[in-house]
Each structure stands twice: as C-alpha cells, then as structure tokens.
Structure 1
Amino acid sequence: MNSPSDTTPQAPLADVTGLLDGVPRQRGPVRVTPGAAADGPAPAPASGAVPRTAPAPDASRSPSHPLRRTAGIPFTLAYAAVLAVTSLVARYADPALVYALHQASSTDVAHLLRAPVPVLLASGLWVAGGILSPYALLFMVVLGTLERRIGALRTAGVFLAGHVLATLATEIPVGLAVLAGHLPDSSLHRLDYGISFGVAACAGALAGLLGPWLRWPLLALFAGAAVTGLLTLVDPMTSWGHLISVAIGIAWWPALRRRGEAATALAAAS
C-alpha cells in the first residue's frame, strides 16, 4: 500500500541535491522544473562548494596609508636613524669622548686639507641639539617632503651638494685669510660640523616645487635666519654658509622642474 507521501509529486533532483550536505551532483540528465526558462540563471554551486568572492582590497596599498607614506622616503628615514644614534652618543657618552668625536668630524681647514672626504662625511653625522631639536624636525619635514617629490637619489644629491659646496665656500676663504695674515692660525681649527647646510639646500630646492603661498615663507624662514645671524655677528661664517646653501638649492629649480614636466607629460601620454 502506498503511503500518502508517495502520491505527492517529487521535487526535481536538481532542487533536492542542493539542499543536502555531502550529496554530490549526479551525472546524467537533470530534470528541470516545468515552466523554467531554458536560458534562466546559472545553477547554484554544488553543495559544500564555497562561492568565490573578490579578494578584499589591501589597505596598505592605498597612497594615504602610513606604510605607503613612510615607504616613499627611505633616504630620510635611514638618515634620521643614523642621527638618532649619534644624538644618543652625544647625550649619554663621556663628554671628553663626545668632544673628541666632534673635533674629528669638524670640517675646518686643517681637516679638509688632510682628509677632505672622510671629514665631510663625518660632519654630516651630527645634529645640533639632538634628534628632538627643532632643527631635527625641519630635517624630517623638508627632506621627507622633497624626497616624496623627486626621489631618494636626487634628494641625497641636493643635500650633499649643499653640505659640501657651502662648506668649501666658507672654509676656503678662511684658509686664504690665514695665509694673508688677516686671521690667526687658530682659525684653521674652528669647530664646524652638522647637517644645517644640507637641510638649507634641500629647503631651497623644495621651495621651487611649491606654490607661492608656501614657497616664500619657506625661503624667508631659512634665509631670514641666516641674515639675522649676519646682522648679530653670532657666527657669520655659518650664516654665510646657510645663505649659500639656500642659493645652491634654488639653483636646482630648472632641473627639478624639467623632471616634473617630463613626468607629467609621460603620465598624460600613458
């Protein structure tokens, strides 16, 4: 005898197998519900199959993500790490040792005549006031912004040009003045070290890439501080070095602007 359930029309096989876990889709013809369109929607995936979904976007690849922002300034970050180490040495090491290190790193005339390359490199390892000083903050802001605009190698080139050329432009006249008898021999051993010339040159170069509302205040900040130093005669040689460094940075404007125009044209063409 048939039970009442046997008289009920059976559900199509394609509809049932989709409801049972672990039942594989059967081979062979599949019955379709009467009235369904032949070109209807695609059949549901087999039971147990996980539907594919588009991978979630990686937030770290966004240009505004902090990792992307810091990854774009490797030269600035690496240099800041070196300055942090030397600042700790200057703060916590024995004062006699720190003074000896500063003397050995001084870009005075005597050291430049004996070992110009090592002393120029060593001079750039120190920052006056330590890594938490206002000048260290300017270093991070100026070099980091410039590096994001022109890249690490060009930023290093601008910094090195300001550091080396401004040092030579201020120390060579001292040596000539000593030879002429206008300055004492002690001027050949003046203490001179730090990153200020390189930072001033980077500030001068960066000003050329900014709009007028940021360009002139930035130039006024660095050039104005140098002019004030010259007027007060606190350290005229260093003040002249800062002015020369800013001028060296400004001299980079044509090359950096040509590069920016070429990059813009390449982007438009692509």
Structure 2
Amino acid sequence: MNPQSLWAPLRGLVRAAGAYPRRSPLTFGYVCLLLVSHAWVTYGLSAERADALLGYVSTNLGNLHDHPVPSLLGSALFFDGTLTDVTSLGFVATLITLGLGVCCFLAWAERRWGGARAAAVFLGGHVAATLLTAVVITLALRHAWYPASVRQATDYGISYGAQTVLAAGILALPGWARLPWVLFVLGWPLGGADWTGPLPDFTTVGHLIAAALGFAVAAAVAIRRRRGRNTGAGRVG
C-alpha cells in the first residue's frame, strides 16, 4: 500500500480542523466560550461560588418564576458534564451534546443555513424545550408524579439546544442512515432515564421535547425544499 494513502485521511482531518474557525465562526466562538466557562466554574471558583452561580442560572421552576431571562440565557453558557472522567456516563453525555451536538451539527447548521438561523434553531430549541418541560413539571407536580423538590432542582446546560440541532441534523444524513439516527437521538436520553411514575425524569422529558422540535424543523425545511423543487419544475414546464 502506498504510504501516502495512509496519511491522506489524517491530512484531510488536519485541513478540516484548520478551516473550522473560518467555515463555522459562530460555532467555534461558542465552543471556546463553553470551554472557558467550564474551566472557570471547575477550577477558577470555589465550590460554594460555583454552586451558587449554577444554581442561579438553573432553569428550575423557582428561577423561571423569579428571573426567567437570566436563567434561560445563563444556562446556555455552561455544559453539565465532564471532559476528564472518560469512564463516566457524564463524559458520554458530553461527547453527544458538546461533541456531536454543538461541535458537529451546530457547525453543519451554520454552514448550511447561516449563523443567524443556526443560532435561532439552537436557542429556540433550548428555550422552547425548557419552557415546555416546565409545563410538564407543573402538571406532574399536581399529580404527585414528581417530588416537590424538583421545583428547585439544579438544571442547566446546553443539552436541550444540542438535542434540537442533533435532531435537525437528520437532513445531513443519507436516507439509509435516518431511521438509525432517529432511534439514537431518542434513545440516548431514555437509556439513562429515571422512572418514578408514569413519566421519566424531567430532564429526559426535556430531551425528548427538544428532539421533537428538531425533527419538526427538519420536516419543515424538507417540505419547503420539496415545494421549491416542484415550483421550479412547474415553471420550467
């Protein structure tokens, strides 16, 4: 085998990494911000201050009532996971949300739809899934399906937005891969779900809602494309 052919994939990967900031500047800047905020909370603050900060930006029912905008926006500046404990489920979740969701599929959305639309899909999924989950939590509390402590639970991070763009990213895949991708996007939150009643834990509910939002975005884009092609074909004819 030609030695040059062995190095070709590596060279391609290096070129892609070098072009990443230029091709996806919004995503690149956001990833840098997330890494900085994670390092600041993990290593720059005391445990007490870190807990206080993350508790303030948590999107639980209490914070959404008291300071909804700071909690919704502040929550998207951090990721709830680990980069060092590689044997933990938290690291797997980080690979899916930060790695696949943000680094890969948000970057794809930015290149495909532009930075503004990609950001709208991500932030729209983050906010809408959070608010819809809050409605589910409120209803579940009325039926005692969740403990009362869930009102003040710590819940922050990028995962709902990442889940939305993961689902919308089905458009980037060939037809044969789309059903397995749907199963993956819906399955990974359910794999670690905690069932204490008829509903899984509220974070699993939030991820499923975010996935539904992303698939809805993908369906809307696909329908618009199909109509555009049909209109173009009609004009040609």
TM-score using structure 1 length: 0.66
| 1:90-109 Cα deviation digits (max 9, x unpaired) | 22121111111110010000
Match for 2:48 among 96, 101, 116?
96
**CA apart distance, 1:176:** 3.8
Shift of 1:190: 1.0
2:21 paired with 1:70: yes
| Counterpart selection for 1:243 from 196, 208, 213 | 208
Instruction: Report what 2:87 is aligned to.
Output: none
Q: Distance in 2 between matches of 1:186 and 1:68?
A: 47
Query: Which structure is larger by alpha-carbon Rg, 1 or 2?
Result: 1
Look up the equivalent residue of 1:89 and give its one-letter code: W
Question: How far, CA to CA, are the matches of 2:177 and 2:144 in structure 1?
Answer: 45
Per-residue deviation at 1:218? 2.8
Determine the C-alpha separation between the residues in 2 that align with 1:179 and 1:66: 50
TM-score by length of structure 2 reads 0.74
Q: Is there any run of 5+ residues in structure 1 with no aligned partner, and where?
A: 1-63
Unmatched 5+ stretches in structure 2: 1-14, 85-93
2:195 corresponds to 1:233: yes
**Residues 88 and 179 (structure 1), Cα distance of their counterparts in 2 relative to 1, 3 Å cut:** same
Shift of 1:229: 3.0
Q: Indicate which of 107, 114, 117 corresponds to 2:69.
A: 117
The share of aligned pairs that are identical, in percent, is 32
Match of 1:211 among 171, 174, 178: 174
In structure 1, how many angstroms separate the alpha carbons of the residues matched to 2:201 and 2:217?
A: 25
The count of aligned residue pairs is 201
C-alpha distance 99-67 of structure 1, shift in aligned 2 (>3 A):
same
1:183 Cα deviation from its structure 2 partner: 4.9
CA contact (8 A) 1:83 1:131 kept: no
The farther-off stretch of 206-215 and 120-129 is: 206-215
Q: Does 1:202 align with 2:165?
A: yes
User: 1:197, 1:241 within 8 Å by CA — same for their partners in 2?
Assistant: yes
Report the Cα distance in structure 1 between the residues aligned to 2:80 and 2:127, rounded to whole angstroms.
18
- Looking at structure 1, the residues matched to 81 and 211 of structure 2 have their Cα atoms a distance apart, in angstroms, of 21
Task: Report the RMSD for the aligned CA atoms in angstroms.
Answer: 2.7
User: Structure 1 residue 228: deviation in Å?
Assistant: 2.0
Give per-residue Cα distances to partners, 1:13-66, cap 9 Å, x unaligned.
xxxxxxxxxxxxxxxxxxxxxxxxxxxxxxxxxxxxxxxxxxxxxxxxxxx776
Distance (Å, rounded) in 1 between the aligned partners of 2:211 and 2:146:
27
- Does the 8 Å contact 1:159/1:201 carry over to 2? yes
Farther off after superposition, 126-135 or 110-119: 126-135
Q: Does the Cα contact within 8 Å between 2:20 and 2:28 map onto a contact in 1?
A: no
Letter in 2 for 1:113: H
Q: Distance in 1 between matches of 2:154 and 2:118?
A: 27
By how many angstroms is 1:253 displaced? 1.9
Deviation at 1:250, TM superposition (A): 0.9
Q: Give the equivalent residue in structure 2 for 1:32.
A: none
Amino acid at match of 1:172: V
Corresponding residue of 2:121: 158
SS for the counterpart of 1:252 is helix
Matched letter for residue 68 of structure 2: P
The structure with more helix, counted as a fraction of residues: 2
User: What letter corresponds to residue 233 of structure 1 in structure 2?
Assistant: W
Cα distance in structure 2, aligned partners of 1:124 and 1:201: 13
Q: Find the residue that maps to 2:80 and give its secondary structure.
A: coil
- 1:142 equivalent in alignment to 2:94: no
Match of 2:7 in 1: none
